Structure 1
Amino acid sequence: MDNHHPFKSPQFERQQFRARLFFGTSLMVLLVSILLGRYYYLQVIKYEKFMTRSESNRVLVEPIAPTRGLIYDRNGVLLAQNRISFSLSVVIERADDLGLLLEEISSLITLSDKEKSQFYKQLNRRRRPFESVLLKMDLSEEEQAILAVNQYHLQGSLVTAKLLREYPFGQNFAHALGYVGRINDHEIDTLDPVLYTGTLVLGKTGLEKKYENDLLGRVGYQTVEVNNRGRMMRLLQRESPIDGKDLHLYLDYRLQRQAYRLLEGEKGAIVVIEIDTGGVLAMASAPSFNPNEFVSGISHKSYSELTHSSELPLFDRALRGQYPPGSTVKPVYGLAALDEGVINENYRISDPGYFKLPNSEHKYRDWKKGGHGNNIHLHDAIVQSCDTFFYNLTNLMSIDTFDRYGSAFGFGQKTGIDMPLERKGIMPSRSWKQEARSMRWYTGDTVNVSIGQGYTLTTPIQLAVMTAGIASRGEMRTPQLVQNQQNILPVKRKIEISENHWNYVHQSMEDVVHGAKGTARGISKGLNYKIAGKTGTVQVIKIKQEEKYDAGATAKRNRDHALFVAFAPRENPKIAVAIVIENAGSGSSQAAPVARKIMDAYMNFYPEALGGL
């Protein structure tokens, strides 16, 4: 039997085998070529790129925050320091489940909605691999202990020690120093990311804000090698940070604390200036607040209480409070009248207790019913604070003259003190009224200006600068809180007035305190030095002509403000003081005694000021 299969072809099978072999071999060659090409592409062409990526995963650059500069008073007492604080952060790359991690942390310690919100906002910003994201600042000892015990199942959490700002004297320096606070969403978009890398806070108000660039310092860096979980294996390189500069102030913490004690329970401000240097020895605004609450993030409840308080504790009255200066400006306008030659030392008026402009029946009343009598000259007008005398000056001087001398002594302009947000007050003039009120100037407006009322507004710091200018016989210096290298501030301008006129006004201001009829004679008892001053009582509400002001029947918020300005010792002036106490009543009975206690404290702290007296 023939077993040959008629359809079987050995030649065909060999051809088919060779075709399959060729196809398989070609496919293998192609795949190997692709693999080799890809290998060449990655290892040769893209070598630098992927080598850099590999290094960035293996090597991390970590910022090292600089230490914020310290702030000292004039005697080296520490006013703003840094304390060790522990913060909780999260390294996202180390956390297996971020949501679960936050839930576990929340079950152990309290996380506010604000803290969670800020955490997620930071999370969405651009950051380096394994860079920690802050979750909670300033952990308590109890919170630190709880986190430490549970660290084994809080993978990705990190507790680190940082330096946090602290203000040892609390509210006594709150407005002057200001405070630092956590960088918010708006600020982080405007700040230089290089300068603030690794820094959690910045100056928000006061000197902390004004001198932020000096206090901040410069960030440092360290390069470290890490494993695939981001754990540091070894330190490769380190560039140390440059700490912020320390600030040394003119402020004396003893005078500052005394000022706050004297303002306890009141609303107002006290400013004390060293006349020879222009340095600010004390600058208190009451009521105040505790700046330490802001450092690690104040609660919504506490912040709401501060912002909605009718006492306005966050408002810096020394720099931003604008008050009519009242009779405290009378020495300035008395100097103006003498210097202009419109009166001399013998010029006298009769005071019936009111003043009327020509062809007008309106009475501008003196504070003293029935007036001060006949033969009242400038000395009497300053000593007894005779309004009628200064009303009469409006027959001799225009508003332009009042404006020129008021402006020379700093009214209506910022003093230039090294603090943010200072207000400039108002020195009324024709142009000011036209621009601000779209109205022309009237002589009646000048009458009100002559006694520091009407449109006139000044700040306590302006009143202190004015008083220092009078004491130094026209040397107007820019007030300063931070000491400069020379420790003496240059004279910004010199008001040229005859020495005889300076002597006359100085003697008149001395007699305000030491004269038999002086409005502040009550504070002269037991003084072993001379004070030259001027009282002021400022009307808060308008009283009709036929009505009489009754403090007892008036709500406290509508009562007069009490003011007093002074310098001492009169023979060789060392300090100038300005006091404003809101709704306290008479300047002579309320503000002047405060000034006496401040000056007594200064003479006690600096007995050399009494040398030769």
Structure 2
Amino acid sequence: MTEFRTPAADLARFRLRVVVAAVFVLICLGLLAARFHFLQVQRHDYFLTRAEDNRIALLPVVPHRGTIVDRNGVVLARNYATYTLEIMPSEVRDLEGTLAELSTLVPIEPRDLRRFRKLFEESRNFESVPVRSRLTDEEVARVVSQRYRLPGVDVRARLLRDYPQGTTAAHVVGYIGRINERDVERIEERGQTANYRGTLHIGKAGLEQSYEAELHGTTGVEQVEVNASGRAVRALSHTPASSGNDLELTLDIELQRVAETAFGDRRGALVAIEPSTGGVLALVSMPTYDPNLFVDGISTQDWRALNESPDHPLLHRAIYSTYPPGSTFKPFMALAGLETGKRTARQAIHDVGYFNFGGHRFMDDKIGGHGMVDLHKSIVVSCNTYYYQLANELGIEGIASFMAPFGFGDRTGIDLPGEAIGVLPSPEWKRNRFRKPEQQRWYAGETISVGIGQGYNAFTPLQLANAMAALVNDGKLFRPHVVKYVVDSRTGERRAIEPEPLREIPLKQAHLKAVLDAMVDVNKSGTGRRAFQGAPYSVGGKTGTAQVFSLRGQRYVEKNVRERLRDHSWFVAYAPAENPKIALAVLVENGGFGSQSAAPIARQVIDYYLLDQRAGAPAAEDDNATESEDAANGTAPARTGEGDPPPREPAAPAVPQAALVPGQPTRVTR
């Protein structure tokens, strides 16, 4: 069949197609024009900024960390400049090849590589990662001369932290370490992310941690123009960083050094406080460690040595470890007896060598007893029987309520991290501490042990020193502090950390005088006299011996007991007695009797502080040696002078459960 098409129809169809095509083209051109308008007009500022970002880089300017000095201006923490070899991950195509090439230019140890890989995993691509620090001038020259063929490699000048005193006061000053993921989370929570750009380190312990906000400073910004390879060609603007503030401490580093030296290789703690302000003069924890090990990332070997040591050198014993106070608790018990009216200064008891309660004998430190004992004598000779009876009359709630205002069993609020709360036992504490009903019950016999500083009592050396400071300061208790001034890095203005009184304990002066006079006689004729023989100043004190474990009625012979199971040695003191300038507590772990181990350390510290001399007390002849030997041989009545081991209690008869908890026999303390 043949189709006939007319020219007019073909022309109409052609024109329709042209119109449709033209409309389609116009629509496309309109859309394109609208897009051009959107990009070039409406988004002009955005894309201009993006273009500038391809040409301009914002580099953080890390601030100088503040320095730390002692009360005399001796530097404890400072900064020093060093060259660091670094890699920018975003600019390196072959990381392993680059590391291999760098190792031919400068020595890179396996430790450096391990640290680099760990930091590389945690870093962002636009942040440089250090490979090695403390480059020599020769090593810097070798790297810089070859940098043209090592894209992403650079040498930067950075500040590193230095602790010039080494191990001295390490637990107080603390240390800085590299920022980890947990630190990043805390920084983000505080809204400080921008201020830590470019910062590699943060305070990890001690003052470096607790005063991080003061020491860190404010990060600055440098705006630079970069070329196609990302290298800076010229600076456009500069906002300088603000250095961190400096810290001036109440600590006397030489006094601290004397105290640490006095401990030798023994474990323990010492806290010395200025009673009128709460300023800490010395804060010792032994053994100690070198904080410089942590600055650039501690090696696995060094970390294992510190972390696995049986002596636990990283443990801050002065504020974190808790111990039963032993007989150093007795002056506070004596004051409690006076203040509550349970005792008068002249009231005496007859000590026959034990206190019988519930069919159980709580033994004294002297076989046969001390005879007639009043409050003064009870402190001077450290009579246990006196305080067994007093504790029974006061009751556990009476003891707890009197001791709490002195800060026992509560954090002091010192400006250092990691303080323990301790234990001031009471029926309420026991109910909260234990789950089983039979364990939650308070037994009357437990109160007897608490009265001589044993039982559940557990306090930090800091708590005991601060309580002693309050005792000699007429009941005025201050919050202990280590920092005396915060010095503004820009203006030099010194902002004082004012003494903060916590409370004033109402105490009668006559009662205070009775207790403090007895403590002075402790060092004249009592258990502390040998350590302070010949001292040219008056000093009050109290020895203490705290049990580590129970021999269950057997006699304690120190040489037959493993070293770490021997009793702890305590000594508390204040001087001069007329106007105390220093109050302290000394603990020697497993040191035995307070007069033998702790008191001589206290003597050396007080000698240096009051007399500015390092020499301790001259060795005194043991005027009880012959008597002690005779007693040991059974030829003389046994007694315990200062430094002589007190006898352990004999096997006790069965005790009613209402009086004692089975398995907790009382031990003698001194």
TM-score (norm 1): 0.89
Cα RMSD of the aligned pairs, angstroms, is 2.5
Tell whether the 8 Å contact from 1:276 to 1:488 is kept in structure 2 after alignment.
no
Pick from 420, 431, 436 the counterpart of residue 434 of structure 1: 431
Q: Aligned pair in 2 of structure 1 residues 160, 68: CA closer, same or farther (>3 Å)? A: same
* Partner-residue secondary structure (3-state), 1:233: strand
- Match of 2:459? 458
Shift of 1:529: 0.5
Tell whether the 8 Å contact from 1:89 to 1:132 is kept in structure 2 after alignment.
no
Q: Aligned pair in 2 of structure 1 residues 33, 472: CA closer, same or farther (>3 Å)? A: closer
Q: Aligned pair in 2 of structure 1 residues 302, 397: CA closer, same or farther (>3 Å)? A: same
CA distance, structure 2, for counterparts of residue 98 and residue 396 of structure 1:
77
Tell whether the 8 Å contact from 1:277 to 1:487 is kept in structure 2 after alignment.
no
Shift of 1:46: 4.1
- Match of 1:491? 501
- Match of 1:170? 166
* Partner-residue secondary structure (3-state), 1:135: strand
Please say if 1:522 is aligned against 2:530: yes
Please say if 1:80 is aligned against 2:77: yes
Residue by residue over 1:202-230, the C-alpha shift from the partner in whole angstroms, topping out at 9 and shown as x without a partner, is 10111111111111111111111111112
Q: Aligned pair in 2 of structure 1 residues 189, 133: CA closer, same or farther (>3 Å)? A: farther
Tell whether the 8 Å contact from 1:137 to 1:296 is kept in structure 2 after alignment.
no
CA distance, structure 1, for counterparts of residue 456 and residue 29 of structure 2:
92
- Match of 2:595? 588
- Match of 1:4? none
Query: What are the ranges of 5 or more consecutive residues in structure 2 without an aligned counterpart?
Result: 1-10, 486-494, 615-670
Q: Aligned pair in 2 of structure 1 residues 394, 42: CA closer, same or farther (>3 Å)? A: closer
Please say if 1:156 is aligned against 2:152: yes
- Match of 2:259? 259
* Partner-residue secondary structure (3-state), 2:233: strand
CA distance, structure 2, for counterparts of residue 137 and residue 503 of structure 1:
63
- Match of 2:450? 449
* Partner-residue secondary structure (3-state), 1:394: helix
Shift of 1:347: 1.3
- Match of 1:135? 130
CA distance, structure 2, for counterparts of residue 370 and residue 41 of structure 1:
103
- Match of 2:211? 211
Q: Aligned pair in 2 of structure 1 residues 486, 57: CA closer, same or farther (>3 Å)? A: closer
- Match of 1:398? 395
* Partner-residue secondary structure (3-state), 1:320: coil
CA distance, structure 2, for counterparts of residue 232 and residue 168 of structure 1:
36
- Match of 1:343? 343
- Match of 2:515? 505
- Match of 2:290? 290
Shift of 1:237: 1.2
Q: Aligned pair in 2 of structure 1 residues 38, 416: CA closer, same or farther (>3 Å)? A: closer
Pick from 89, 97, 101 the counterpart of residue 86 of structure 2: 89
CA distance, structure 2, for counterparts of residue 391 and residue 417 of structure 1:
33
- Match of 1:220? 220
CA distance, structure 2, for counterparts of residue 54 and residue 45 of structure 1:
16
* Partner-residue secondary structure (3-state), 1:257: helix
CA distance, structure 2, for counterparts of residue 519 and residue 363 of structure 1:
24
Pick from 556, 565, 572 the counterpart of residue 563 of structure 2: 556
CA distance, structure 1, for counterparts of residue 574 and residue 382 of structure 2:
18
Q: Which amino acid counterpart does residue 582 of structure 1 have in structure 2?
A: E
- Match of 1:102? 99
Q: Which amino acid counterpart does residue 368 of structure 2 have in structure 1?
A: G
CA distance, structure 2, for counterparts of residue 92 and residue 42 of structure 1:
33
CA distance, structure 2, for counterparts of residue 436 and residue 33 of structure 1:
79
- Match of 1:127? none
CA distance, structure 2, for counterparts of residue 606 and residue 561 of structure 1:
28
CA distance, structure 2, for counterparts of residue 220 and residue 488 of structure 1:
31
1:178-193 correspondence to structure 2 within 5 Å: 178-191=174-187, 192-193=192-193
Q: Which amino acid counterpart does residue 442 of structure 1 have in structure 2?
A: Y
Q: Which amino acid counterpart does residue 611 of structure 2 have in structure 1?
A: N
Shift of 1:99: 4.0
Q: Which amino acid counterpart does residue 432 of structure 2 have in structure 1?
A: E
Q: Which amino acid counterpart does residue 135 of structure 1 have in structure 2?
A: P
Tell whether the 8 Å contact from 1:536 to 1:563 is kept in structure 2 after alignment.
yes
Shift of 1:599: 0.1
Shift of 1:41: 5.8
1:183-332 correspondence to structure 2 within 5 Å: 183-191=179-187, 192-332=192-332
TM-score (norm 2): 0.82
User: How many correspondences in the alignment?
Assistant: 576
Query: What are the ranges of 5 or more consecutive residues in structure 1 without an aligned counterpart?
Result: 1-14, 125-130, 608-613
* Partner-residue secondary structure (3-state), 1:398: helix
Q: Which amino acid counterpart does residue 456 of structure 1 have in structure 2?
A: N
Tell whether the 8 Å contact from 1:394 to 1:443 is kept in structure 2 after alignment.
no
Q: Which amino acid counterpart does residue 539 of structure 1 have in structure 2?
A: Q
- Match of 1:539? 547
Shift of 1:148: 4.0
CA distance, structure 1, for counterparts of residue 299 and residue 201 of structure 2:
16
Tell whether the 8 Å contact from 1:116 to 1:135 is kept in structure 2 after alignment.
no
Shift of 1:486: 5.2
Q: Which amino acid counterpart does residue 378 of structure 1 have in structure 2?
A: L
* Partner-residue secondary structure (3-state), 1:112: helix
Q: Which amino acid counterpart does residue 170 of structure 1 have in structure 2?
A: G
Residue by residue over 1:496-526, the C-alpha shift from the partner in whole angstroms, topping out at 9 and shown as x without a partner, is 11111111111100000012xx000102222
Q: Aligned pair in 2 of structure 1 residues 276, 46: CA closer, same or farther (>3 Å)? A: closer
Pick from 68, 71, 81 the counterpart of residue 68 of structure 2: 71
Identity %: 40
Shift of 1:443: 1.4
* Partner-residue secondary structure (3-state), 1:63: strand
Shift of 1:132: 3.7
CA distance, structure 2, for counterparts of residue 479 and residue 520 of structure 1:
27
- Match of 2:366? 368
Shift of 1:123: 3.5
CA distance, structure 2, for counterparts of residue 552 and residue 594 of structure 1:
22
CA distance, structure 1, for counterparts of residue 43 and residue 529 of structure 2:
90
Q: Aligned pair in 2 of structure 1 residues 143, 554: CA closer, same or farther (>3 Å)? A: farther
Q: Which amino acid counterpart does residue 505 of structure 1 have in structure 2?
A: V
Q: Aligned pair in 2 of structure 1 residues 226, 440: CA closer, same or farther (>3 Å)? A: same
CA distance, structure 2, for counterparts of residue 252 and residue 312 of structure 1:
25
Please say if 1:60 is aligned against 2:57: yes
Q: Which amino acid counterpart does residue 165 of structure 1 have in structure 2?
A: R
Residue by residue over 1:261-300, the C-alpha shift from the partner in whole angstroms, topping out at 9 and shown as x without a partner, is 0122011001110112210000010001110110110012
Pick from 600, 604, 613 the counterpart of residue 597 of structure 1: 604
CA distance, structure 2, for counterparts of residue 161 and residue 375 of structure 1:
75
Residue by residue over 1:382-413, the C-alpha shift from the partner in whole angstroms, topping out at 9 and shown as x without a partner, is 00001111001133211111101211211110
CA distance, structure 1, for counterparts of residue 42 and residue 351 of structure 2:
101
